Amino acid sequence: MFFNLIGGDDYRNFPVKPMERTFVMIKPEGLQRGVAGEIIARLEKKGLKMVAMKMLVISGDLAKRHYGEHIGKPFFENLVKYITSGPVIAMVLEGKNAVSAVRSMMGSTDPLKAEPGTIRATYGMDMGRNIIHGSDSLTSADREIGNFFKTEELIEYTRSIEPWVYE
């Protein structure tokens, strides 16, 4: 967690707001199905600020590190095989309560159980094809951001719309 004065000097009378950063990934089917842009647009429209983004094919090592908490579970091998099967888009998004904001936009892990209107409910049919990943806690977010991005790839900038997103 870190603190950011919104709008810079022009808004110095605004209170300092705690902002979170979360790691988000459009999984391989997002690019194969041509819906990656739509999903990114939803996250942007919500008000989340993009601080890093890249397209990559995940290596086996990176996949095992990213999904390390699931090592030994019956779905682990398939998960690693799938997530390394094609390009993904990795992002860091910033905002107030960004971790839980993204998780609630994503919906449950199983797209058939996800609340209607959530990203997974809208774009998925199967547990192993749930289109998007988002960090499940601030601790995971820090770890996942570090796995995918160098510090210098996280871009610090001010958006003039900030006072129209946060009170």
How many CB atoms within 10 Å of residue 104? 12
- The residues in 117-136 that bind Mg ion, with binding defined as CB under 5 A, are 136
Work out how close the CB of 42 gets to ligand RTP at its nearest, in angstroms, rounded to a whole number: 16
| Binding-site string for ligand RTP from residue 114 to residue 133, where x marks contact by CB under 6 A and - marks none | -------------xx-x--x
Binding partner selected for residue 28 from ligand RTP, Mg ion, none, CB under the kind-specific 5 to 8 Å limit:
none
Structure tokens that stand for 96 in this block: 């107030």
Residues linked to residue 96 through DSSP beta bridges, in sequence order: none
Q: Which residues, 6+ apart, have CB-to-CB distance to 106 below 8 Å?
A: 114, 118, 119, 120, 132, 134
Work out how close the CB of 23 gets to ligand RTP at its nearest, in angstroms, rounded to a whole number: 9
- The residues in 134-153 that bind ligand RTP, with binding defined as CB under 6 A, are 134, 136
- The residues in 23-52 that bind ligand RTP, with binding defined as CB under 6 A, are none
How many CB atoms within 10 Å of residue 100? 16
- Strand spans (E) along the chain: 2-4, 17-26, 49-56, 88-95, 132-134
Give yes or no: 66 in active site. Answer: no
Binding residues (CB under 6 A) for ligand RTP: these are 70, 75, 79, 109, 127-128, 130, 133-134, 136
Active site amino acids = 133
